[in-house]
């Protein structure tokens, strides 16, 4: 499924991700900037913080407690903020739009 990343400067990058791959993993594998993912996907660092396109928010699984409390450590959190290591791709999310923050 396709993920469309937009970085803080407005540059778009399209990435292909297999079902079951997290948005963070897809970003790292494809050298998408502005996702640090220091903890490697263990939901323990908040440096994989991204903004999800509003129209996609309803299609995502709701945040669990761990993601919610870790997200408190991210900078510039908005109502569409999520941790990208906690979102697994599926066919349903094909074409999802994800904005990356300027700093993590």
Residue numbers at the binding site for ligand FES (CB under 6 A): 24, 37-39, 41-48, 70, 83, 85
The distance of Cα 14 from the centroid of its chain, to the nearest Å, equals 14
12-16 and 96-99: which strand pairing?
unpaired
CB of 87 to ligand FES, least distance (A): 10
Report which residue's Cβ sits closest to ligand FES: 85
Of residues 29, 24, 28, the one with CA closest to residue 41 = 24
Cα–Cα distance, 104 to 86 (Å, whole number): 16
CB of 49 to ligand FES, least distance (A): 8
CB of 89 to ligand FES, least distance (A): 15
Query: In terms of CB distance, is 10 or 75 closer to ligand FES?
Result: 75
Query: In terms of CB distance, is 10 or 48 closer to ligand FES?
Result: 48
Query: In terms of CB distance, is 10 or 66 closer to ligand FES?
Result: 66
CB of 9 to ligand FES, least distance (A): 22
Contacts for 7-11: CB closer than 8 Å, 24+ residues apart? 7/32, 7/33, 7/34, 7/99, 7/100, 8/34, 8/99, 8/100, 8/101, 8/102
């Amino acid at each position: 499924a396709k993920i469309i990343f937009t970085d803080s400067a407005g540059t778009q990058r399209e990435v292909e991700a297999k079902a079951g791959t997290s948005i963070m993993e897809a970003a790292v594998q494809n050298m998408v900037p502005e996702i640090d993912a220091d903890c490697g996907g263990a939901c323990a660092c908040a440096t994989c913080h991204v903004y999800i396109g509003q129209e996609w928010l309803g299609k995502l699984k709701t945040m669990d407690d761990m993601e919610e409390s870790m997200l408190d450590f991210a900078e510039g959190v908005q109502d569409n903020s999520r941790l990208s290591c906690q979102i697994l791709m599926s066919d349903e999310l094909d074409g999802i739009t994800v904005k990356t923050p300027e700093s993590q």
